[in-house]
């Protein structure tokens, strides 16, 4: 009798990965909330941003043993036993500049609360000695160091600077047995990781259409990740907010550029992403294609750029423009030696106002210079001396101080094989993580064919936001503004209407800057990258909105002719 052929092996079970932190300062109770809200395999916490690295760098100057996110320890103290009991592994980049230090602190915490855990960490990202003059210089590592730690049995993995998506690609590679050659699968995990990385931004937080759901306390997101790289984005039952194609689209566009989303493990093609509503608070992501990663790793550098001082004059009632001009003229001599002087008149006033505050405008003066004395005593004394000899109603929001140092965030690139990516296990063993074997130099993707334009018809002047959502953010001194619509008909209109020229007309602050438009038809989205709009980056506070968080909302508020058929 011929034996029956063996049954094919069962596919690996889906991996449920949640997020409990999108930034350093996120909701303190989120770790406990995620552990008690439903089933999970892995919890990830993202603490690092360009500004955070600068903050941690200044902490380390004061205390060499510092440099990591201390709030993570406070969160973990309450929830470590619960995570162990439920078999949930924790992966976090809270290690910042000192992942080994945080790993040791977690071990001490575990001993104190009597919870046995194996703690591993990932290192090799710190390239400070290669970049003299930098406060911090850290390469963005991928997920395979995390995967090595998990494969060796780590319960908690602490990293320094990895890509935000690596917190998901690492656990996925460990769970499904992926190799660096599994580009499509890795790309799918990168997309899921990018959706999760900012916490509640995927579940209704900071969402353009926030009035469509109860977003007073959005739940944190999770992804059900499958062996082929596809995923479903959802959240625990009963938590606030919503997960729909719009919220996921918004987060996909956040802080991205073109169709190629490059990382150390893989380059994900955002123009292949397909989103489908898969039920209430469930969005399926599939179709994601991947390519070999670039041969270089991005290095985030921060340094002290000089000193900065600020004063805001309040101009009330009549003759606002003339009052502003008087102050400028009175301070011109005192500011002559400063390297950079910026005046901004913000017209918050309105005629015949019924409160003093709404009758007032704000004149903001920011001064920067390499020397603290230039922005300190010189400006402080000159501004205060005007108190009895300037415009009528003279006062300021707060007296200027002595000037404080400001940071500059920059990017550099190094070959992948020059970075010693290493997994350090709980028992001290060190596992080298090789660089990507296959690499591909990034090139721009050819613009896709646009849909047929809408036929002519009646139009009405109205805000763009009646039709389109937007989300914006920063990357160094640049900003991106992702704009999307929710129907095919609206996409036919948006793709032909919101050109670079029209974008510049709607946002005059971008008129003299380089603006690049990227088209993502599957998402019904356009992504605009505005170079240099943020100066030297968030830490330098070049603009009123230094991280471009509200640039997209400004765009949505601008009026243009909208087809009445779409309204």
In the chain the domains, ranked by start, together with CATH numbers, are 15-293 (no CATH), 302-408 (3.30.70.360), 459-566 (no CATH)
The mean predicted confidence, pLDDT, of the chain is: 94
What's the pLDDT at 127? 97
Given a contact cutoff of 8 angstroms between Cβ atoms, the answer to whether 91 and 43 are in contact is yes
Closest CA to 44 of 179, 177, 150, 125: 150
Share of the chain above pLDDT 90, in %: 88
At which residue do the structure tokens 């900065």 appear?
Answer: 308
pLDDT tens, residue by residue, 30-72 = 999 999 999 999 999 999 998 899 999 999 999 999 999 999 9
Q: What letter would DSSP give residue 183?
A: H
Q: Model confidence at 307, in pLDDT bands (50, 70, 90)?
A: very high
- As a whole number of angstroms, the distance between CA 143 and CA 166 comes to 4
Backbone angles phi, psi at 189, to 5 degrees: -70, -35
Average the pLDDT over 280-284 and give the result.
98
Average the pLDDT over 328-352 and give the result.
93
Q: What DSSP assignment string belongs to 73-92?
A: HHHHHHHHHHHHHHT-EEEE
Give the global pTM. 0.93
Closest CA to 201 of 16, 55, 467, 19: 19
Among 140-154, 387-401, 423-437, the least confident range:
387-401
Average the pLDDT over 156-166 and give the result.
97
Given a contact cutoff of 8 angstroms between Cβ atoms, the answer to whether 45 and 92 are in contact is yes
Among 65-79, 285-299, 300-314, 397-411, the least confident range:
397-411
pLDDT tens, residue by residue, 446-462 = 889 999 999 999 999 99
Given a contact cutoff of 8 angstroms between Cβ atoms, the answer to whether 193 and 168 are in contact is yes
Q: What is the dihedral of CA 407, 411, 412, 418, to 10 degrees?
A: 100
What's the pLDDT at 9? 64
Does residue 237 carry a pLDDT above 90?
Answer: yes
What's the pLDDT at 378? 72
Listed in sequence order, the residues at least 6 apart from 112 whose beta carbon sits closer than 8 Å to its beta carbon are: none
Backbone angles phi, psi at 381, to 5 degrees: -65, -45
Q: Where are the alpha helices (DSSP H) in 47-137?
A: 50-62, 70-86, 99-113
Share of the chain above pLDDT 70, in %: 98
Q: How far is CA 68 from the centre of its chain?
A: 19
Helix (H, G, I), strand (E, B), or coil: what is residue 1?
Answer: coil
């Amino acid at each position: 009798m011929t034996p029956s052929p063996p049954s094919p092996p069962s596919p690996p079970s889906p991996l449920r990965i949640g997020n409990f932190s999108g930034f350093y300062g996120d909701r303190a109770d989120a770790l406990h909330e995620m552990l008690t809200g439903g089933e999970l395999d892995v919890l990830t916490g993202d603490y690092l941003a360009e500004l955070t690295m600068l903050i941690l760098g200044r902490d380390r100057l004061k205390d060499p043993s510092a440099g990591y996110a201390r709030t993570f320890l406070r969160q973990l103290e309450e929830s470590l036993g619960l995570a162990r009991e439920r078999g949930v592994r924790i992966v976090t980049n809270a290690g910042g500049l000192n992942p080994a230090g945080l790993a040791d602190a977690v071990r001490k915490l575990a001993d104190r609360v009597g919870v046995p855990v194996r703690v591993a960490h990932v290192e090799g990202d710190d390239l400070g000695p290669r970049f003299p003059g930098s406060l911090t210089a850290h390469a963005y590592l991928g997920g395979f160091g995390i995967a090595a730690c998990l494969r060796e049995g780590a319960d908690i993995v602490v990293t320094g600077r990895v890509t935000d998506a690596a917190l998901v690609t690492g656990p996925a590679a460990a769970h499904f047995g992926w190799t660096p050659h599994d580009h499509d699968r890795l790309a799918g995990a990168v997309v899921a990781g990018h959706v999760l990385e900012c916490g509640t931004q995927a579940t209704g937080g900071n969402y353009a259409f926030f009035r469509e759901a109860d977003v007073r306390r959005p739940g944190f997101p999770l992804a059900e990740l499958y062996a082929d790289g596809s995923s479903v984005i959802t959240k625990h039952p009963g938590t606030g907010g919503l997960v729909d194609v719009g919220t996921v689209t918004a987060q996909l566009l956040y802080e991205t550029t073109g169709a190629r989303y490059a990382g150390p493990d893989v380059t994900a093609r955002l123009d292949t992403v397909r989103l489908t509503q898969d039920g209430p608070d469930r969005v399926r992501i599939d179709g994601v294609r991947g390519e070999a990663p670039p041969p270089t790793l991005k290095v985030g550098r921060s340094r002290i750029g000089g000193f900065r001082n600020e004063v805001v004059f309040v101009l009330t009632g009549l003759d606002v423009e003339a009052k502003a001009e008087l102050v400028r003229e009175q301070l011109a001599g005192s500011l002559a030696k400063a390297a950079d002087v910026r005046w901004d008149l913000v017209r918050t006033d309105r005629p015949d106002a019924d409160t003093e505050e709404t009758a007032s405008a704000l004149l903001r003066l920011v001064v920067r210079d390499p020397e603290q004395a230039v922005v300190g005593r010189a400006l402080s004394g000159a501004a205060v001396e005007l108190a009895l000899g300037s415009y009528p109603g003279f006062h300021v929001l707060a007296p200027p101080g002595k000037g404080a140092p400001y940071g500059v965030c920059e990017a550099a690139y190094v070959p992948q094989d020059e970075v010693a990516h290493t997994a350090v296990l709980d028992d001290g063993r060190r596992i080298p993580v090789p660089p990507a074997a296959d690499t591909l130099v990034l090139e721009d993707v050819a613009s896709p064919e646009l849909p047929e334009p809408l036929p002519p018809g009646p139009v009405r002047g109205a805000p763009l936001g009646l039709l389109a959502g937007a989300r914006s953010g920063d990357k160094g001194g640049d900003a991106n503004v992702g704009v999307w619509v929710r129907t095919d008909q609206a996409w036919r209109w948006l793709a032909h209407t919101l050109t670079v020229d029209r974008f510049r007309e709607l946002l005059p602050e971008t008129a003299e800057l380089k603006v690049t438009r990227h088209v993502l038809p599957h998402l019904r989205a356009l992504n605009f990258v505005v170079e240099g709009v943020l100066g030297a980056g968030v830490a330098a506070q070049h603009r009123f909105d230094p991280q471009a968080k509200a640039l997209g909302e400004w765009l949505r508020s601008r009026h243009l002719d909208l087809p009445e058929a779409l309204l």
